[in-house]
Amino acid sequence: MRARAWLIALISAPALLAASNFEKSIPVPRSAEAKLDWSSAGCSVRSVSLQNYPSQEDIEKARKSDPNDHSWVWWNFHVENRGQTKCQIKLWVDIFGKNGQVVKSGDRTDTVDVGKVDDNIRVSTRMKTIEIADAPKAHIRAEIGPK
C-alpha cells in the first residue's frame, strides 16, 4: 500500500509545480480597473488598470497637429500571494487597433513574495497617443507558477 501511495505522490508532484495559464480579451481600461481574478496556488492577479493614460487635451493635440506623438502607458497588474511559497508571474499585453491588428505588445516577468497582498507588476508600453486613444481592446495573458 505504501508503494502505491508513493507512486501517486510521485506522479502528482509535477502537476503541483506546473504553472497555470490564463488569458482574456478586455476593453482597454482607460479610467477603471478591469477585474481578472486569476489564481493558482494562492498567487493571484486580481485586476489591471492603466497609469499615465493620455489626457483628452493630449489626444486632441495628437489628432490635430502631431499624429506621431507617443505616450508611455503602464499596465498595472494588481497581484497578491496568499500561498506558502514565492511565486512567479509572467504577463503579456497585446493592444489592438481599430483595424483589429496588434499595434503594441508588452510583457514582464516578476516574483511575488509570500504574504504580499497589495502588490503590483507594471508592464510598460510606449505607443502612439492616437493608437492608445483609439484602441478598442487588449488581450491579456498570464502564467502563474512557483518560483
Below-50 pLDDT ranges, the chain: 5-15
pLDDT at 18: 82
Exposure class string for 20-59: b at 16+ Cβ within 10 A, else e: eebeeeeebbeeeebebebbbbebbbbbbbbeebbeeeeb
Domains of the chain: 19-146 (2.60.40)
Q: What is the DSSP letter of 17?
A: H
pTM for the full model? 0.85
Per-residue pLDDT of 65-98, as tens digits, reads 999 999 999 999 999 999 999 999 999 999 999 9
